[in-house]
């Protein structure tokens, strides 16, 4: 019963994930809608921030009235001190309320805005992992990782800019205009017209600079991508004495980014300069108008102070609003660019009604499968292949014959151009990716390890495994000897992509990882290619234990590793040209026998490369 409930919960979770993935793709290049999606998750907190900011601005404006009342009360203050005291107390109360409400807004926003940032980063990473391998093959890892951070950071900056830079002056301008109307309606109308026109002009000019901001966003992401690319291939850089060349190349990218940033910032400064000149002239005009009203006896001294301060607040507020919107335009452009890259629709979305793969018998079938990588010639031509449950099958053939493509299609890294691939009679395009991956253990030629402990790397496919189970897997994979020699043992860090280990050590870690995962189908892609002869003998014994009662598909250029297999399939140009037992193929003219002959003569070309 418990297993059924867990299965139901897992299925419901997958449905939610698929629905969320489809929804997120709708926000690609739509930054405002994307922001609102995450703000809506924390409605109450954002409502508190909004109400607090509105109230704080209201009390700040009201304090201008408080100042006017205090000034007007001063001439008669000696005769009526209670009037001055009352005006003073009201002013102090307004100032106190203003400051307290800002602190409430700041306290709540410190939690809400950070949560929004975390939600976006999590969802962007979650969506990114759902892309097919072909998506990652076309893009630099650094560019993608920088865009995940850029998306979250842009939203954080936008929320803060709206809350603290754009919203307060906007509310101040609106409130101040109404307050000026109580003294002089014509002045209020003039201020409305001038402020609206100025803000509209600056916002229009700001939008015209969007291309400059987007260019800067692209260049910044490109620099991040170059950094990760070079650092990840530092061994290659050193091997070819290319340090100076990479420095020059990176300097070129930095110069391009600096030029794009300069163009973006200078455009913003031109807008700020324009607004500063206009504001100076208008401030002088408002002050002169107010003084003229006073000379006509149509305004009190307090009115002069009130209208003057409010006029300045309106003009400077319109400047702050315009500058804030200019800054927002830049950040929104970065958010749009980053989301456009990350939220590209999946090229291989999971089938809407995908069901978990149920492996009763681990059979593998390729039925009339043809496939070509984008922009390249056909790799597989009408391939039909049946592998029985528990059968050990070796794939051999020259480079480009389609061997690795067979394993890639079996793992559903790509969609077959025609035909279908089945496991245990089920079309793998109609099953959940999680269940498909759980059915297979892979020992690749180029072993990938995380910059984590060996313990974490080995139990990556079986995180619930105990340390004792990990050690048994290491012993079966003949890697416990070198692990025990490390100062930290299983807690030793593997390094970036396993750089602290030799090639042979990495492959033995990968074999231990596959042993621990214990899946019914085992894929071996040159699993012993990086081992010396002594290690290979030890690993062969481990592989024999691992392959027992499993369906095995192995790619091997060392034919010695396939001698115990049930069947050898020889591929050439995407087709099966020979198949049979190792003993049978050794007697039949063809690629297999020719390779055996070269190997026996110890010729340099003793592999099927």
Q: Which of 442, 467, 469, 435 is nearest to 453 (CA)?
A: 467
Spatial separation of the C-alpha atoms in residues 526 and 515, rounded to whole Å: 16
Whole-Å CA distances, 570 to 6, 115, 364, 520: 43, 56, 17, 24
Mean pLDDT of 86-94: 83
Helix, strand or coil for residue 14? helix
Question: How far from each other are the two terminal CA atoms of the chain, in whole angstroms?
Answer: 52
Residues 70-85: tens digit of each pLDDT: 777 777 767 667 777 8
- Residue 307 contacts residue 316 (beta carbons within 8 Å): no
Helix, strand or coil for residue 313? helix
Give the dihedral of Cα atoms 78, 80, 81, 82; nearest 10 deg: 180
Domain ranges of the chain: 10-342, 357-439+555-609
DSSP code per residue over 316-352: HHHHHHHHHHHHHHHHHHHHHHHHHHHTPPPSSPPPT
Beta bridge partners of 578: 570
For the chain, count helices (H), then strands (E): 21, 10
* 3-state DSSP of 405-445: HHHHHHCCCCCCCEEEEEECCEEHHHECHHHHHHCEEEECC
H or E stretch including 552?
Answer: strand 551-555
pLDDT of residue 183: 67
Mean pLDDT of 144-149: 81
Beta bridge partners of 421: 366
Angle at 300 between CA 176 and CA 94, to 5 degrees: 45
pLDDT of residue 601: 62
Class of domain 10-342: mainly alpha
The label of the residue with tokens 């004495």 reads 241
Whole-Å CA distances, 580 to 108, 237, 280, 327, 381: 71, 45, 90, 69, 20
Burial class (CB in 10 A: 0-12, 13-18, 19+), 103: exposed
Cβ atoms within 10 Å, residue 375: 5
Does 179 have pLDDT greater than 80? Answer: no
Q: Dihedrals φ, ψ of 273, to 5°?
A: -65, -45
Class of domain 357-439+555-609: alpha beta
Spatial separation of the C-alpha atoms in residues 487 and 246, rounded to whole Å: 35
Please tell me the pTM assigned to this model: 0.68
Identify which has the larger pLDDT, 142 or 373. 373
Spatial separation of the C-alpha atoms in residues 9 and 17, rounded to whole Å: 12
Cβ atoms within 10 Å, residue 256: 15
Residues 580-594: tens digit of each pLDDT: 998 888 888 888 888
Lowest mean pLDDT among 106-110, 347-351, 454-458: 347-351
Lowest mean pLDDT among 116-125, 163-172, 286-295: 286-295
H or E stretch including 95?
Answer: helix 81-129
Q: Dihedrals φ, ψ of 96, to 5°?
A: -65, -45
pLDDT of residue 43: 92
- The 8-class DSSP code of residue 30 comes to -
- The 8-class DSSP code of residue 550 comes to S
CA 420 from centre of chain: 32
Residues 379-409: tens digit of each pLDDT: 998 899 999 999 999 999 888 888 989 999 9
Which own/partner contact pairs does 292-295 have at CB distance under 8 Å and 24+ positions apart? 293/183, 293/184
Spatial separation of the C-alpha atoms in residues 65 and 297, rounded to whole Å: 19
H or E stretch including 367?
Answer: strand 364-372
Mean pLDDT of 306-326: 71
pLDDT of residue 603: 44
CA 80 from centre of chain: 68
Q: pLDDT band for position 22 (50/70/90)?
A: low
Residues 251-263: tens digit of each pLDDT: 877 787 777 777 7
With a CB cutoff of 8 Å and minimum separation 6, the contacts of 383 are 366, 368, 369, 370, 402, 406, 419, 574, 575, 576
Spatial separation of the C-alpha atoms in residues 407 and 268, rounded to whole Å: 53
Identify which has the larger pLDDT, 172 or 435. 435
Spatial separation of the C-alpha atoms in residues 152 and 121, rounded to whole Å: 6
Helices (H), 161-242: 167-181, 185-208, 210-232, 234-239
- Percentage of the chain lying above the pLDDT 90 cut: 15
Identify which has the larger pLDDT, 304 or 436. 436
Cβ atoms within 10 Å, residue 121: 17
Residues 405-447: tens digit of each pLDDT: 999 999 998 888 889 999 999 999 999 888 998 899 888 877 8
CA 441 from centre of chain: 27
Residues 534-581: tens digit of each pLDDT: 666 767 777 777 788 889 999 887 777 788 899 999 998 889 999 999
CA 347 from centre of chain: 17
Helix, strand or coil for residue 466? coil
Sheet holding 418-423, edge to edge: 378-387, 364-372, 418-423, 426-427
Residues 516-543: tens digit of each pLDDT: 888 899 998 876 665 566 666 767 777 7
H or E stretch including 371?
Answer: strand 364-372
- Residue 131 contacts residue 305 (beta carbons within 8 Å): no
The label of the residue with tokens 């600056």 reads 202
- The 8-class DSSP code of residue 166 comes to I
- Residue 112 contacts residue 194 (beta carbons within 8 Å): no
């Amino acid at each position: 019963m418990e297993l059924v409930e867990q299965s139901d919960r897992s299925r419901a979770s997958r449905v939610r994930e698929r629905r969320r993935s489809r929804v997120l793709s709708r926000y690609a290049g739509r930054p405002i809608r994307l922001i609102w999606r995450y703000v809506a998750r924390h409605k109450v907190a954002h409502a508190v921030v909004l109400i607090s900011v509105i109230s704080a601005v209201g009390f700040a404006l009201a304090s201008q009235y408080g100042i006017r009342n205090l000034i007007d009360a001063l001439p008669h203050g000696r005769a009526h001190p209670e009037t001055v005291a009352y005006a003073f107390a009201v002013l102090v109360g307004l100032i106190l309320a203003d400051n307290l409400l800002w602190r409430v807004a700041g306290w709540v926003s410190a939690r809400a805005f950070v949560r929004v940032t975390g939600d976006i980063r999590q969802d962007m990473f979650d969506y990114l992992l759902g892309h097919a391998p072909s998506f990652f093959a076309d893009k630099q890892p650094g560019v993608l990782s920088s865009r995940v951070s850029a998306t979250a950071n842009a939203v954080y900056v936008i929320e803060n800019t709206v809350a603290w830079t754009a919203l307060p002056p906007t509310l101040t301008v609106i409130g101040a205009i109404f307050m000026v109307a109580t003294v002089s309606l014509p002045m209020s109308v003039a201020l409305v017209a001038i402020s609206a026109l100025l803000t509209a002009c600056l916002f229009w000019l700001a939008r015209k600079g969007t291309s400059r901001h987007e260019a800067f966003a692209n260049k910044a992401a490109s620099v991040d991508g170059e950094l990760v690319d070079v650092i990840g291939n530092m061994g290659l850089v050193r091997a070819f004495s290319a340090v100076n060349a990479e420095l020059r190349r990176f300097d070129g990218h930095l110069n391009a980014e600096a030029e794009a940033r300069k163009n973006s910032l200078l455009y913003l400064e031109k807008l700020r300069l324009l607004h500063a000149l206009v504001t100076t002239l208008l401030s002088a005009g408002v002050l002169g108008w107010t003084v003229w009203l006073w000379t006509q006896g149509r305004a009190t001294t307090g009115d002069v102070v009130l209208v003057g301060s409010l006029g300045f607040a309106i003009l400077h507020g319109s400047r702050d609003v315009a500058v804030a919107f200019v800054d927002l335009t830049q950040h929104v452009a970065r958010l749009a660019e980053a989301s456009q890259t990350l939220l590209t629709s999946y090229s291989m979305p999971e089938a809407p009604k995908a069901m978990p793969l149920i492996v009763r018998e681990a059979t593998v079938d390729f039925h009339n499968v043809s496939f070509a990588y984008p922009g390249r010639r056909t790799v597989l031509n009408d391939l039909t292949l049946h592998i029985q449950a528990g059968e050990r099958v070796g794939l051999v053939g020259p480079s480009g014959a389609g061997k690795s493509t067979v394993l890639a299609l079996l793992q559903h890294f790509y969609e077959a151009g025609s035909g279908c691939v089945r496991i245990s009679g089920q079309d793998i395009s109609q099953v959940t990716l999680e269940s498909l991956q759980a059915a297979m253990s892979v020992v690749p030629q180029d072993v990938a390890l995380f910059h984590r402990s060996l313990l974490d790397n080995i139990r990556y496919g079986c995180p619930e495994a105990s340390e004792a189970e990990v050690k048994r897997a290491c012993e079966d994979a003949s890697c416990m000897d070198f692990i025990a020699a490390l100062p930290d043992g299983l807690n030793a860090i593997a390094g970036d992509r396993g750089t602290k280990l030799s090639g042979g050590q990495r492959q033995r870690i990968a074999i231990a990882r596959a042993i621990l995962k214990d899946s019914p189908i085992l894929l071996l892609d040159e699993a012993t290619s990086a081992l010396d002869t002594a290690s290979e003998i030890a690993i062969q014994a481990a592989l024999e234990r691992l392959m027992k009662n499993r369906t095995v598909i192995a790619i091997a250029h060392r034919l010695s590793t396939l001698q115990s297999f049930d069947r050898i399939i020889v591929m050439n140009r995407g087709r099966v040209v020979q198949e049979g037992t190792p003993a049978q193929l050794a007697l039949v003219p063809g690629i297999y026998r020719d390779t055996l002959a070269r190997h026996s003569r110890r010729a340099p070309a003793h592999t099927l490369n």
